[in-house]
Amino acid sequence: MTKKHVKSVSFNLKDEVEQQIWKYVSKRNFSGYVKKLIIEDMKRKMAEKKEQSSAAPTQEKKSISKPTMSMPKLFSSK
């Protein structure tokens, strides 16, 4: 017996950046693509934690701020 959980992602196609993202991801296996990105992010965060824990006690740990809600323009509109 399999138990699946679904997380939805919405795209506002009136927003130029989100429309470009939609066009980009609609050509791919979206579920696999998102899972791959999550795995890469998890690995990066684990490596950062490992790096921070092995840093000298006097060294200041870097904090990563959360991204803001406004997104930069990703692609040029040529």
Tell me the C-alpha to C-alpha distance, in Å, between residue 40 and each of 23, 33, 36, 47.
22, 11, 6, 11
Output the pLDDT for position 78: 47
Mean pLDDT, all residues of the chain: 82
User: Which tokens is 13 given?
Assistant: 């196609």
Reported as a pLDDT band with limits 50, 70 and 90, residue 54 is confident
Q: For 36-50, what is the mean pLDDT?
A: 94
Output the pLDDT for position 29: 95
With beta carbons less than 8 A apart as the criterion, state whether 23 and 74 touch.
Answer: no
Domain ranges of the chain: 16-51
